[in-house]
Amino acid sequence: MRPVVKVLLVAAAIIAFGYIFIGNLGSQKIEFETNSAEIVPVGELTDGTEIIQSFSIGKSKTLSAVAIKLATYIRVNEGKIIVSVRRSAHGDTIYSKSVDASSIADNEYLVHRFPPIRFMKNDTYYLSIKSIGAGPGRAITAYKTSDDADPDGELWIDGIPQTGDLVIKTYTFEPWFARIFNLFT
């Protein structure tokens, strides 16, 4: 290999590494937090139950994490919870993860971080929580508001639209270069 080619290859590798590394530096912050005077459990999430909450993120924002407030009825529950983030209510899954119901903490937010979703800005997402394998008396629950806390979001439980919204937080990630860019635009 000619020396000049070697130098070019090394330079290309450094630039590629720098782009990937620096592109992942930035800050994550809470984009939205469900705010309501009254929240109530949605009921036991027994086998097959699916909750879907839609939400939107702001212009030029990059979705990087979601958190859902869950509760255990102060007992150890059975089965699994599959948390998914989708582009539509029932398809185009961007992210999905299974969690043992027995590992869920009472009245705490279950946080799921994922690689920041790029090129999908200013969009609506669908957060799904599906219960697998939990019988009555052995299932966890989530919280919803009594009122329409998020006019931009909608909640469905087993396909039935609800008045309130699921108690969640969404997080966005802003790479440092986007922050500087946004100062001038």
Residues that bind Ca ion (CB under 5 A): 148, 150, 153, 165
Q: Copy the structure tokens of residue 12.
A: 């290309």
Closest to Ca ion by CB, 3 or 151: 151
> Whole-number minimum distance, CB 145 to Ca ion, in Å?
8
Closest to Ca ion by CB, 79 or 154: 154
> Whole-number minimum distance, CB 146 to Ca ion, in Å?
12
DSSP of 39-108:
EEE-----TT-EEEEEEE--TT--EEEEEEEEE-SSS---SEEEEEEESSSSS-EEEEEEEEGGGPPTTE
Closest to Ca ion by CB, 46 or 170: 170
Looking only at Cα atoms, what is the longest distance across the chain?
71
> Whole-number minimum distance, CB 154 to Ca ion, in Å?
5
Closest to Ca ion by CB, 26 or 153: 153
b/e 11-34 (16+ beta carbons within 10 angstroms → b): eeeeeeeeeeeeeeebeeeebbeb
For the four alpha carbons of 123, 164, 88 and 101, in that order, the dihedral sign comes to positive
Closest to Ca ion by CB, 85 or 104: 85
> Whole-number minimum distance, CB 16 to Ca ion, in Å?
43
Pairwise CA distance, residues 51 & 53, whole Å: 7
> Whole-number minimum distance, CB 13 to Ca ion, in Å?
48
Pairwise CA distance, residues 168 & 161, whole Å: 17
